Chains A and B, each alone.
Chain A
Amino acid sequence: NAGVTQTPKFQVLKTGQSMTLQCAQDMNHNSMYWYRQDPGMGLRLIYYSASEGTTDKGEVPNGYNVSRLNKREFSLRLESAAPSQTSVYFCASSGGSLGRGMNTEAFFGQGTRLTVV
Chain B
Amino acid sequence: AQSVSQHNHHVILSEAASLELGCNYSYGGTVNLFWYVQYPGQHLQLLLKYFSGDPLVKGIKGFEAEFIKSKFSFNLRKPSVQWSDTAEYFCAVRTSGTYKYIFGTGTRLKVLA
Contacts and interface: CB of A to CB of B under 8 A. Distances in A.
Interface of A: 31, 33, 35, 40-45, 48, 50, 58, 90, 92, 94, 96-98, 102-111
Interface residues of B, number: 26
Q: Which 8 A-B pairs have the closest CB atoms?
A: A42-B105, A43-B103, A103-B51, A50-B99, A108-B44, A108-B43, A42-B103, A110-B43
Contacts, number: 58
A94 B100 contact: no
B67 interface: no
A42 B97 contact: no
A19 to B, nearest CB: 20
A45 B100 contact: yes
Contacts of A98: 97, 99
8 contacts: A40-B106, A41-B105, A44-B103, A45-B100, A98-B99, A102-B32, A102-B96, A105-B49
